[in-house]
Amino acid sequence: MSSILFHAIAGIVLVALSSVSAQEAATSVKSVRGLTSTQAAERKIIEIEATVTYAMLPSGFFIHDQTEGVYVSIPTLIQSNMVLHAGDQVRLKAMTDPGEYFPRLLCLSLTNEGSVELPQATPVTPENLFSPDLDCQWVKVTGDIISAEMDPIDQLVMTLELYGWTFKVVLQASEANVRDVQALMMRQVTFEGVAATVFNQQRQTTGRFFYVPSLKFIHAMDEHQGTNAPIALAVADLLRSDTASASMVRVGGTVTYVAKNELCLRGEGGSLRVLLAGGKTNQLGDYVEVIGYATIAPFRPVVRAREVITLRSGVPPEPVDMVTAMTNLPNLQAELVKVANAVYLGAQETPEGMVMHCQVQNHFFEAILPKPFSLPVTLLPGCAINIVGTCELTTSHAVALPTRVDGFRLHLISPRDLMIVSRPSWWTPKRSLTVLVVAAGLGILGMGWIWSLRRQVIAQTKIIGGQIQREATLQERQRIARELHDSIEQEMGGVAIQISNARRRLSQDPTQADSALTLAQEMIRHCREEARTSIRDLRSVALEQGGLPRAIQELLTPAASEANIKLTLSEQGSVARLDARLESDLFRVAQEAVTNAIHHAAPSKIEITLDYAPDFVTLTVQDDGCGFEASSAPPRGHFGLLGMQERANQQQARLVVESRPGAGTKVSIKTPTILAINSVLK
């Protein structure tokens, strides 16, 4: 006897989940099922011996203690590789839980004590079929198996007809189950299993299905003994008053429709729907014989096939013209038909597939294209289409009498059964009116938008113009202030210092006082020149309108010509307007260099070069005058070189002065390019 013990882990679960109720422990499954949700939530402890009826490991299993059945859940913390089978006797220690439908048990520990006989099964009757008390019980069911398939989680799911309802019967998938289930198709069977309930979040019953441990719990009923030889009948002779409804029949016909678990035949006396138990799939046009049992269905019997024998292959038959045959609509059930020049009205997606809504003459009908096919993208409402499909008759009356057929739907096999004949004109009256309304609305909106935009542009232009004017005025004021501070104010301060020195030394040392006055006089002269230069800069139309090259040509060439000196200007690179402050400083450096050459060097020519590189601008002023010792300090009272260096520092530029006696002078300044705003915009 094998055992699986989880006592250590169960203790952890007990502490983690809740405290144990001090009340008397439940003693049976019946007492557990009698608990309310509130009482079950108190985590009562139950120790019980019961029989496993269905195991769905590792999540849980069903048990029965000869009185009632209940579901036992295995908490994740103690899930392991336990092995349980239907009929195993287990000793269980568990905790009550409200569950989602009936109260359930949470497994704490389990001991498997070996196999025993399963409990007496409760028969399922029409009266207790949907009774809540049937949930989790070991039951006995008699019904007809009509189909079988595998679901995505490797379970074998059979469809059962019982008392006019269809239910699902779930088995664990195994090679034996999959292989042997075909023998049960379209047969009446009796099986034992666990009744399960489908419910919603409000604990309401919405359906029922059954768990069966294996195929050995399903037994076919031999009710057709003595009538094993099938009776050959025409389609029109099925289930007539002179034929036995319980007899196995043989019906022949040509395949007109093929789908999962069904096909349609055109045989003698009409067409027939055949329900399949699986196996090979037939092709359209095959002539087959179907062996099975005729079953009642609306408008025409169906046959539940035990076997389909293909006798020969052929071409698909021609469809019946639906419009012509509509006068005898009840005979078109399961018939292959064609509807020509139907008007497509629209479609919707359903679990069956794409359901097209169509109209032919005064009749509205549906045409179903099964999954996974999709409709052509060119199919639009209003298109005229031809449709070939299998006819399913419908009625809006409560009783499906042939005389009360008032509608139909068509079942297509693939998009090949649909052909677009013509497309609707786009210019329908409704669309034309819509276009006119939209155009008028857009016109009104456009005019309003243009009017609003013009007002905004005018207002923004005024605001921007005012801002530009204020900014320009402010910048000009700041530039003048810098000019005055950098030149005149500083030099006037120096003059004041020299005059103060002269006054102090006048009575003590007249010679030194005279030297201080001479220096002050030179500084006043230089200050006057700076003031004149600043005024010329402020009034310089050439520098403002023409830029640096034009200002040099117009303002410096005349001064050189008066001294009988030839001044030339050359430009290299892509000439562009520079920032106003940069142009002013470069012009002042050039002006100072030319003025110094004229006054002190006596040159015959002065060459000025402007080199515009992508990242730098270089100004070079070179003369062939007498030169001087560049490494020596400038004479007292001469501030030209100092002013040029200050301007270079303001622009973060590099100023180089090269000169020696008798070899002329070369002044160059290299500064980072700062383009003017209007030059960038262009």
Residue 480 confidence (pLDDT): 65
Query: Alpha helix (H) ranges present in 160-319?
Result: 175-180
Here the CATH number for the domain that contains residue 569 is: 3.30.565.10
Name the token pair of 219. Answer: 């037994």
Residue at which a domain ends, from 539, 555, 574 = 539
Residue 11 confidence (pLDDT): 43
- Could you tell me which residues come within 8 angstroms of residue 481 by beta carbon, excluding any fewer than 6 positions away? none
Do 583 and 458 have their domain in common?
Answer: no
Question: For residue 419, which of 450, 451, 379, 458 has the smallest C-alpha distance?
Answer: 379
Do 434 and 406 have their domain in common?
Answer: no
Do 283 and 206 have their domain in common?
Answer: no
- Asked whether residue 318 is domain-assigned, the answer is no
- Domain of 431 in residue numbering reads as 425-539
Ranges of beta strands (E only) in 181-301 are 187-199, 205-211, 218-220, 231-232, 248-259, 262-267, 270-275, 287-295
Check: CB of residue 181 under 8 Å from CB of residue 191: no
Domain count, the chain: 6
Residue 537 confidence (pLDDT): 56
Instruction: Determine the Cα–Cα distance for residues 209 and 220; give it in Å rounded to an integer.
Output: 19
Do 110 and 152 have their domain in common?
Answer: no
Residue at which a domain ends, from 539, 564, 591 = 539
- Asked whether residue 20 is domain-assigned, the answer is yes
Residue 280 confidence (pLDDT): 63
26-55 tens-digit pLDDT: 678 999 999 999 999 999 999 999 999 999
Do 20 and 80 have their domain in common?
Answer: yes
β-partners of residue 143 are 189
134-164 tens-digit pLDDT: 999 999 999 988 877 777 677 888 889 898 8
- Centre a 10 Å sphere on the Cβ of residue 116 and count the other Cβ atoms it contains: 13
Do 465 and 454 have their domain in common?
Answer: yes
Do 308 and 213 have their domain in common?
Answer: no
Do 132 and 76 have their domain in common?
Answer: no
- Asked whether residue 321 is domain-assigned, the answer is no
Q: Is the dihedral of CA 629, 633, 637, 641 positive or negative?
A: positive
Do 632 and 568 have their domain in common?
Answer: yes
- Asked whether residue 324 is domain-assigned, the answer is no
- Asked whether residue 495 is domain-assigned, the answer is yes
- Could you tell me which residues come within 8 angstroms of residue 221 by beta carbon, excluding any fewer than 6 positions away? 142, 187, 188, 189, 190
Whole-number Cα distances in Å, 403 to 154, 219, 236, 538:
46, 41, 18, 109
Instruction: Determine the Cα–Cα distance for residues 580 and 651; give it in Å rounded to an integer.
Output: 12
Do 559 and 651 have their domain in common?
Answer: yes
Do 674 and 556 have their domain in common?
Answer: yes
Query: What is the CA 124 to chain-centroid distance, rounded?
Result: 49
Residue at which a domain ends, from 391, 406, 422 = 422
Residue 461 confidence (pLDDT): 83
Residue 567 confidence (pLDDT): 92
- Asked whether residue 323 is domain-assigned, the answer is no
- Asked whether residue 326 is domain-assigned, the answer is no
Give the three-state DSSP class for 553.
helix
Residues of the chain with pLDDT under 70: 1-26, 152, 178, 222-228, 243-246, 277-280, 469-470, 472-491, 493-494, 498, 507, 512-513, 529-542, 633-639, 675-682
Here the CATH number for the domain that contains residue 262 is: 2.40.50.140
Q: Looking at beta carbons, which pairs linking 341-346 to residues 24 or more positions away fall under 8 Å?
A: 341/384, 341/385, 341/386, 341/421, 342/384, 342/385, 342/386, 342/387, 343/382, 343/383, 343/384, 343/385, 344/379, 344/380, 344/381, 344/382, 344/383, 344/384, 344/385, 345/381, 346/381
Do 534 and 565 have their domain in common?
Answer: no
Triad 217, 222, 225: Cα angle to 5°: 165
- pTM (two decimals): 0.50
- Asked whether residue 226 is domain-assigned, the answer is no
β-partners of residue 670 are 618, 654
Here the CATH number for the domain that contains residue 89 is: 2.40.50.200
